[in-house]
Structure 1
Amino acid sequence: MPDIPGRTGLRAQGRKTAAALGRQPSGTRHPLVAVAMVLPLAIFLAVAFGGWEAVMTQASSVAGMLGR
């Protein structure tokens, strides 16, 4: 087996491992799935550490710059 450097080698190794275990490689995760996974933790951390006001201030500023 040739040694392939970088991500290509890691992907190839992952495909071989998945095939050996009888699974298809999953590929990439859909962006909405990633958001659904991260959003609850992000909200918890914002509330727990008092960052909610900062988030709302930034959102308001961005909305103002966009003219809404």
Structure 2
Amino acid sequence: MSDRAQQGRKTFAFNAHQSASGTRHPLVAAAMVLPLATLLVVLFGGWDQVVTQASSVSALLGR
């Protein structure tokens, strides 16, 4: 098998969960990000920062 064909095969296997347009479904993206985000919040105590940032953004928006 040529190098080019093997590279194409690897690329297909790696991107098999993407649609034909090259974008991921939002639920797939969320399923990929949420476990890591949860772990980081638990490890570094980031919940207070999330609340602080959300309140700052809501104040900027006037709510």
Q: TM-score range by the shorter chain?
A: 0.5 to 0.7
In structure 2, relative to structure 1, the CA distance for the partners of 1:26 and 1:35 (3 Å cut) is closer
**Does residue 56 of the first structure (1) align with residue 42 of the second (2)?**
no
Partner of 1:45: 40
- Cα distance between partner residues in 2 of 1:46 and 1:32: 20
Report the TM-score when normalising by structure 1.
0.53
Q: CA RMSD in A?
A: 2.8
**Does residue 36 of the first structure (1) align with residue 12 of the second (2)?**
no
Partner of 2:60: 65
Deviations 1:13-44 (A, max 9, x none): 25xx75xxxxxx54331123211221122122
In structure 2, relative to structure 1, the CA distance for the partners of 1:34 and 1:54 (3 Å cut) is same
In the alignment, structure 1 segments of 5+ residues that lack a partner are 4-9, 19-24
The list of structure 1 runs, each at least 4 consecutive aligned residues, that deviate by more than 4 angstroms after superposition, is none
